[in-house]
Structures are given as structure tokens and as C-alpha cells.
Amino acid sequence: TPALAGVRDSKQLSARQRERLDEAIRAAALAVGVGESSVEEIDTFGIVPATRLAIRRAVDGLGLVPAFVLIDGRGLEMQHIPCRCVVKGDALCLSIAAASIVAKVARDTYMREMDRLYPGYGFARHKGYGTAAHLESLAQLGPSPIHRMSFAPVRHAAARVGAGRQRGVYR
């Protein structure tokens, strides 16, 4: 379909392009599922098991049972549905690229919401990536409830802020 002509790796698109393509993908798709794992799940189980859990939730949220699932990356196979992992799949496969766009738009929307809940971190700008500005706000404010304590820079920032400050307490 011509509406999907611009679909490619989400990292190669501007936010505006991703948002426009997200709408086109949702209009053209039989189903769209977005899955996530909580900070607590990532900290408890680790990033790979939490990613598998998020993939499972996305597939379960489709409202239909797919015959086959393509997954970007490696080592994320699913047990309940036939699948194939494709390294750099978002650059090689239209459906994986479309999924990367939908996921990035959902993540960016979530981070804008978190920016309103936890002002001062700049989540709307850096979207949770470890930019210099994000690390600086983390050093000044300490971790918020949405920071992963299993991530070394967050753990170190929490230690620097000091034991007297509770996680999630703000001025």
C-alpha cells in the first residue's frame, strides 16, 4: 500500500514521520499489539526475559492468533507461536520496521506522560535514553520510580544522592 511506502527502521525517521506512519500502519494492519514490561519486572528478571514478556504481551494483545511471528534481534524466540528472530530486522523486513515505529511512538507517548509526572528529568526530550542531560538530572534528583535500578548509571546515581533520600520522593 502506498501509505506504508515510508516505513523503515524507526531510528531513521523523525518523530513527525513516525507519528504519521504509526497512523497509516494501524489503519492498514489486521491487528496491532503493544506490550511492555514494568521497571520491577526488568529489575527482577533481567532485560532479556522482560523483553520476552513484553513480546508475549504484544502478541497476546493482538486479538487474533498469528500463524508466525517475526522478531527483531536474536535469542527472543517464543514458545507458544512459531517465530523467527531477524538480526537488524527493522532494516530488513517491512513488518518488523512497522512494529518498531508503533513501539517507538508508544514509548515516546509514555515518556511524555512520565515527563509530566516526574518533572525535572527531561523525559519528553531524551525519552529515557542515557543522554548527558538525562544523566545530569539523574545525578541531581536521584532516580525516579520509573528508573531501572539494575542499570548501573541509575544505581550509581542513587548511591551518590545518598541514603537519606527515598526513591520517588520529590521537592
Residue 71: its H or E element:
strand 69-72
101 within 8 A of 13, measured Cβ to Cβ: yes
pLDDT at 160: 78
Q: CA-to-CA distance for 131 and 71, rounded, in angstroms? A: 27
131 is written with which cell numbers?
Answer: 543522554
Please tell me the predicted confidence (pLDDT) of residue 162: 60
CB 64 within 8 A of CB 50: no
User: Which DSSP category does 166 fall into?
Assistant: P
Q: What is the pLDDT of residues 23-68, one digit of tens each?
A: 999 999 999 999 999 999 999 999 999 999 999 999 999 999 999 9
* Distance, CA of 81 to CA of 75 (rounded, Å): 15
pLDDT in tens, 146-166: 999 988 888 888 887 664 444
At residue 171, the pLDDT reads 34
pLDDT digits (tens, 9 = 90+) for 83-134: 999 999 999 999 999 999 999 999 999 999 999 999 999 999 999 888 889 9
Distance of CA 144 to the CA centre of its chain: 17
Q: Predicted confidence band at 80 (pLDDT cuts at 50, 70, 90)?
A: confident
